[in-house]
Structure 1
Amino acid sequence: MKVIIHPSQVYGNIIAPPSKSITHRAIILSSLAQGQSVLENCLICKDTLYTLSSVKKFGIKTVIRKNKIIVNGNMGIFCKKSKLIKLYLGNSGTTLRFMTAYACLTKNKVLIDGHSRLRERPVEELVIALRKLGSKIVFLGRRKTLPILIKQGNFHGGKISIPGVKSSQFISALLMIAPYSSTDVTINLDDVSSRPYVDLTTGIMKKFGAKIVQSDDRCFLVNANRYYKAVDFKVEGDYSSSSYLMAAAAIKRSKISIAGLNPKSKQGDKFFLKILNKMGVQTSWSNQILTVSAKNNLKAISLSMKDYPDIVPTLSIIASCAKGITRISDIGHLRHKESDRLLAIASQLKKMNINVKISKDNMEIEGGTPQGAAICSFDDHRIIMSFSILGLAAQGNTTIQNSETVNKSYPSFFTDLKDLKANLEIIK
């Protein structure tokens, strides 16, 4: 599918898509709970469907009704199957990390594989930790990547130190299975990027009844033999996906109101509101509705994005339209996403006549006047959505191939843009 973005004004009211991160976690926790959970306002997209189909392969019964998922948990008790369980996870890094740990609760042999890009994404640190906690896992791929074979779960718990520089999902994956260990689990963090995602995980675990003790900011103790409780759980709106709509208001000097976001959310990407404010964009709340508006020129800023990798592409789009040079640091882990996002962002901004420099883990963007161009998607949903927004402010049309990849996280993205009066064509 190809999309053609025509320069156009956008404005109006929209409802935020549900959170992908929270939907993933709610599926995992409810599948391990005692009883039936009803998950409301779930994001039904490619990635979350990979997680849902994976738990079903372990015998979990689920029903989807529009954006509601009903999950019958098994208390972490899995029937042993005679056949090898095969999980194909597409390009979902979240599903990869979460299901690698999840499979270690079972007594089944499990083969995990995915898209060629998923075979390049890091999982070694998680596998090392799971081995130390009792599991037998073998790498079948080169360079200690997918495919992997879990020969025996035997997750018995204990103490572990794990780095989370490449992905905080290693830590979240261990935390979520920890209550089903035979002994308490203590996790010490050596270092971690995207730390807010770990806090998001522990917050949702507590809603499902887990007991977690933090002696300090880098040490978690999770009590064993404490089953999750079934709950009725509503997924809040997604700040990561909503950042594109906010960026559209910023670069088009317009006003967009977004319903469905939680003003008190633990989602790390709520930090995007602070970024907008620093760049001269106004944000305000009224009756749980966020309004983003911009009238004046955007300001360049300098900041670390170590904890907020998913909104770096969106920030780069606003920086392209700001006055001055925006300096973004501590973003080397973007090279391990659905694409090498540092390279992808820089190469496509240059196509649109924006000056940009990248190093190992930093990026500098000089604001200017973007020119319409043929954008390479890199099969990366966040690259597609970001450059679709920049196309609204470009001189000339912007075309993006393989734009259906937005289904990975935000299936209604182009429909929502049209609802905000964006002028675009979709050619299938």
Structure 2
Amino acid sequence: MNLSLKPATCTVKSEISITGSKSETNRLLLLQALYPAIVLKNTSNSDDSEVMTKALNTKDSVIDVHHAGTAMRFLTAYFATQENREVILTGSSRMKERPIKILVDALNQLGASITYEEKEGFPPIKIKGQQLSKNKVSLPANISSQYISALLLIAPKLENGLELQLEGKITSVPYIKMTLALLEEIGVETSFKENTITIQSKKEIQARQLTVESDWSSASYFYAIAALSETGTEIKLSSYKKHSLQGDSVLAEIYRKLGVDTIYEGNSIILKKSTARIAETLKLNLNDSPDIAQTIAVTCFGLGITCHLSGLHTLKIKETDRLEALKTELEKLGAVIKVTQDTLELGKSEEIKSGVSITTYDDHRMAMAFAPLALKVPIIIKDAGVVSKSYPHFWEDIKSIGFQMSEI
């Protein structure tokens, strides 16, 4: 499905309800599988979370996670601990290009039995579940936090808990802290001192209900819409907490520099386009929140300001090489842009080319990050259905606040 978006004015006052954080949901789904006493509310309706739910409940011996990178990493750790269970974890052609060796090596060091079915270091993998009695392992600290979180989530069910040593400078600290906070919420003792994380073993927990906070990454697209809208535009989003576990909640601070104020009201946030002067250039290190880089880059382009984003090395191994994809698509629109292995530099643009078709590369964030530009020029989003990976109702939601679109 390709969508043609026409320039429209965002409704001055709009309200959107966003489902639970994919990051929190997938962590809690794994913990629920380990501790069935957990009851969950406001879980994500994303494809990734549905894949995770299905995989945790199936008895099949071959499990296909499609494009779901989080599910691949978390399930690798989970099935390694499931005694007398043997599964093959596989995925899309892109998933078979995404490395898993660091996690597999760490699990095998703990006593797991995981082998490769095709290419060394990449899915598909065969996992023979068994009890893991070893409790010390080390990992490079600059890798995707999902490798680290995968180990932390299974740690309380290990016979002797886990002591994880991170070597070097740590990437995506908020996601690690999110995992630890969720473990503590269910009664697991944790410690994070300097580069050492310790998780105590816990066989059972007391029954409890947990409500997932709405997804801040999904909120990023509405921040972009507010930034590109007329002064006075307000968008109300629920359900959000002022003190969030999600690293992407830094959006509130970042977008204040782009003319958007965040007002906390009960369990909602109101994004208001203010008359405040917008920064002429934006310089950010997104080491702790790389998932919002695409939205920020496109927003800056739409506002005609320069930006320099760093800390983006994990974007090279996402659903696509997000840095190269951003460069290609922004250049189509007339941007002057340079990318390296971990940075993006956007020059000032005087004009946005009209009617450009944006390729999405099987990447949900490419589709949603570019959509707000329809407030400025007609734009076509190719393979628009890819948004279902994290935000299935995205197109309906932006249509409800004034976007005009037609399928072509």
- When the two structures are superposed, what TM-score results if normalisation uses the length of structure 2? 0.93
Counterparts of 1:15-414 in structure 2, within 5 Å, are 15-35=17-37, 37-57=38-58, 85-107=61-83, 108-190=85-167, 191-214=169-192, 216-253=193-230, 254-294=233-273, 295=275, 298-299=278-279, 300-368=281-349, 369-372=351-354, 373-394=356-377, 397-414=378-395
Using the TM superposition, name which of 151-160 and 195-204 deviates more.
151-160
Question: Residue 9 of structure 1 aligns with which residue?
Answer: 9
Q: Tell me, yes or no, if the aligned pair for 2:40 and 2:211 is still in contact at 8 Å.
A: yes
Number of matched pairs: 398
Q: Distance in 1 between matches of 2:255 and 2:362?
A: 27
Q: Distance in 1 between matches of 2:277 and 2:331?
A: 22
Write the letter of the residue equivalent to 1:134.
Answer: G
Q: Tell me, yes or no, if the aligned pair for 1:5 and 1:398 is still in contact at 8 Å.
A: yes
Structure 1: runs of 5+ lacking an equivalent: 59-83
SS in 1 for 2:203: coil
Give the CA deviation at 1:143.
4.5
Q: Tell me, yes or no, if the aligned pair for 1:210 and 1:226 is still in contact at 8 Å.
A: no
Q: Distance in 2 between matches of 1:184 and 1:28?
A: 17
Q: Tell me, yes or no, if the aligned pair for 2:81 and 2:129 is still in contact at 8 Å.
A: no
Give the CA deviation at 1:321.
2.5
Write the letter of the residue equivalent to 1:50.
Answer: V
Q: Tell me, yes or no, if the aligned pair for 2:223 and 2:260 is still in contact at 8 Å.
A: no
1:11-33 deviation line (CA, Å, top 9, x unaligned)? 32222232111111111111111
Give the CA deviation at 1:126.
0.6
Q: Tell me, yes or no, if the aligned pair for 1:50 and 1:95 is still in contact at 8 Å.
A: yes
SS in 1 for 2:303: coil
1:61-115 deviation line (CA, Å, top 9, x unaligned)? xxxxxxxxxxxxxxxxxxxxxxx72111011000000000000111222211000
Q: Distance in 2 between matches of 1:151 and 1:13?
A: 48
Write the letter of the residue equivalent to 2:25.
Answer: T
Q: Tell me, yes or no, if the aligned pair for 1:297 and 1:322 is still in contact at 8 Å.
A: no
The percentage of counterpart residues that share the same residue type is 30
SS in 1 for 2:154: helix
Write the letter of the residue equivalent to 1:4.
Answer: S
SS in 2 for 1:321: helix
RMSD: 1.7
- When the two structures are superposed, what TM-score results if normalisation uses the length of structure 1? 0.89
1:292-347 deviation line (CA, Å, top 9, x unaligned)? 22235632211111111110011111110334421001212101111100011111
Q: Tell me, yes or no, if the aligned pair for 1:251 and 1:318 is still in contact at 8 Å.
A: yes
Q: Tell me, yes or no, if the aligned pair for 2:142 and 2:170 is still in contact at 8 Å.
A: yes
